[in-house]
Amino acid sequence: MSQSSPSQLPAATVGEQAALEEMPITKHLVILRKHLFKIVGLVIALFFCLLPFANRTYQILSEPLRAQLPTSSTMIATDVTATFMAPFKLNFFVALMIAMPFIIYQLWAFVKPALYEKEKSLALPLLISSIALFYIGISFAYFIALPSILHFFISVSPETVAPMTDINSYLTFCLKLFLVFGFTFEIPIITLLLILIGVVSTQQLVEKRRFIIVGCFFVSMFVTPPDALSMIMLAIPMWMLFELGLFAGKLIEKRRVNRK
């Protein structure tokens, strides 16, 4: 939170802050519940709207795998309910991803009254950027990382083994990959926030750059499938995204110096 004193704030803002401080915790919880109801309502509505297309959505998800499988191989279901549950789970995930901007907006609307004007002007662009980067991360995973990883694993399988992937296992693998890349692409926002709130400076990050690069490869080694290609395809974007956040942080620090 900003450390601005009440005398430096407009009268209306001071009044809003005082009202928030006097508001009991139960009132905050009631307001939060209203925002949560809106979020849940939209996710459920999207879920049922997308449900007729659930099988088609799963076909789109499985396309990178089916393109790599030999002509004699196919996907399989090892459980009776898998043919229903796999598209069902994917449908919920898609509904959640589509609703993400609305979810972020509702959370923003809940915390907005507690922020000062300077914090509001910074928070909104960061929220919009974080949503965009999350979607970019998932797109990168689906269009670039997933086909390359699948091609690698299928190409190294023994000739006597016909790869036939279970649809539930494939869904779990894909969702994990999407979330890993989606959250990884938030690195510029995290780096920028740490600089903005004064936890670290750009100079400190520059001095520890080599350790951060090693850390990117170390983290990717544990969160990706056990092969060098997956690790590299995550570690290098992590490094580049860190550099992007660092560059943005340098620009902000330069503006602060110029203002002084």
Q: What is the structure's pLDDT at 253?
A: 82
Q: What is the pLDDT of residues 18-38, one digit of tens each?
A: 555 566 778 878 888 999 999
Question: How much is the CA Rg of the chain, to the nearest whole Å?
Answer: 23
Confidence of residue 161 (pLDDT cuts 50, 70, 90): confident
Q: Please list the alpha-helical segments (H only) found in the chain.
A: 11-22, 25-50, 54-68, 82-98, 100-111, 117-140, 146-155, 167-184, 187-196, 202-207, 209-223, 228-259
Confidence at residue 110, expressed as pLDDT on a 0 to 100 scale: 83
Domain spans, the chain = 25-258
**Cα torsion at 91, 46, 179, 123 (round to 10°)?**
180
With H, G, I as helix, E, B as strand and everything else as coil, classify residue 177.
helix
The predicted structure's pLDDT at residue 19: 56
In this prediction, residue 32 carries a pLDDT of 87
Can you list the pairs that 79-87 forms with residues at least 24 positions away whose Cβ atoms lie under 8 Å? 79/168, 82/166, 82/167, 82/168, 83/167, 85/168, 86/58, 86/167, 86/168, 86/171, 87/54, 87/55, 87/57, 87/58
pLDDT for 221 beyond 70: yes
Q: What is the mean pLDDT of residues 202-228?
A: 91
Residue 255: its pLDDT value, please? 80
Q: What is the pTM of this model?
A: 0.82
Q: What percent of the chain has pLDDT over 70?
A: 90
Structure tokens, 124? 């909104």
Q: Across-strand partners of 26?
A: none
Which two three-digit tokens encode residue 200?
């670290």
Among 12-21, 100-109, 191-200, 229-238, the minimum mean pLDDT is found in: 12-21
Only one residue has tokens 């659930």, namely: 54
Beta carbons of 133 and 189 less than 8 angstroms apart: yes
Torsion angles phi and psi, residue 72, rounded to 5: -85, -5
pLDDT in tens, 171-205: 999 999 999 999 999 999 999 888 887 888 899 99
pLDDT-based confidence at residue 117 (cuts at 50, 70, 90): confident
pLDDT band at 237 (very low <50, low <70, confident <90, very high): very high
| Span between the terminal Cα atoms of the chain, in Å | 21
